[in-house]
């Protein structure tokens, strides 16, 4: 599967492309800060990935105007928002609703069940995806909570609001 296929109709227009690029620029400082903190606090994540540290993952929260490019290489760590039409070629693609992806990251949701119910789409190197999932499963605590806590009470409130909003849908 090509990782540059755009499944979000909003991004197929010029206006959608502009919104996507602006959204990427707005969230990038947050993503950079979060990934540096997670890498510093959880270096064992990288060891669990083995040869897949250099795999490019495209994580696609379908309702957001962008995708996320992750390369979990501790020597050249990448975690950035990318417009779908400019996404790099990925070794593995993980696509689903934002909160589902967040819950999978924190091992709060069963990835197998989400995959078989078709709520989660996985393409490309499935071994890399399984390794990433296993590495995240080994993290004590919640990466989402850690990330929210980096931004104090506003960050925690935003995470709580997101979780409530998604649980209502």
Residue-wise pLDDT tens digits, 10-38: 445 667 788 999 999 999 999 999 999 99
Q: Quick one: which H or E segment has residue 71?
A: strand 67-71
pLDDT higher than 60, residue 51: yes
pLDDT higher than 80, residue 61: yes
Strand partners, 58: 69, 93
pLDDT value, residue 169: 62
Q: How far apart are CA 132 and CA 72, in angstroms?
A: 9
Which pLDDT band, with edges at 50, 70 and 90, does 109 fall under? low
Q: Which of 96, 58, 95 is nearest to 78 (CA)?
A: 58
Domain boundary assignment for the chain: 9-141
Which pLDDT band, with edges at 50, 70 and 90, does 102 fall under? confident
pLDDT value, residue 12: 54
Residue-wise pLDDT tens digits, 128-144: 999 998 888 888 888 88
Looking at domain 9-141, which CATH architecture does it have? 2-Layer Sandwich (3.30)
Between the alpha carbon of residue 88 and those of residues 44, 99, 145, 157, the distances in Å are 26, 23, 28, 33
């Amino acid at each position: 599967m090509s990782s540059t296929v755009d499944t979000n109709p909003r991004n197929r227009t010029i206006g959608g492309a502009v919104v996507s690029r602006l959204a990427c620029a707005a969230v990038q400082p947050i993503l950079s800060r979060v990934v540096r903190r997670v890498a510093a606090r959880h270096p064992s994540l990288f060891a669990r990935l083995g040869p897949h540290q250099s795999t490019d993952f495209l994580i696609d929260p379908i309702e957001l105007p962008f995708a996320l490019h992750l390369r979990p290489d501790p020597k050249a760590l990448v975690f950035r928002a990318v417009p779908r039409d400019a996404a790099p070629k990925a070794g593995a693609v993980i696509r689903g609703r934002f909160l589902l992806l967040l819950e999978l990251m924190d091992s709060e949701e069963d990835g197998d069940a989400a995959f078989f119910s078709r709520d989660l789409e996985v393409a490309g190197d499935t071994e890399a995806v399984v390794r990433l999932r296993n590495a995240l499963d080994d993290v004590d605590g919640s990466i989402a909570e850690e990330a929210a806590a980096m931004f104090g009470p506003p960050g925690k409130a935003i995470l709580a609001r997101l979780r409530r909003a998604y649980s209502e849908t």
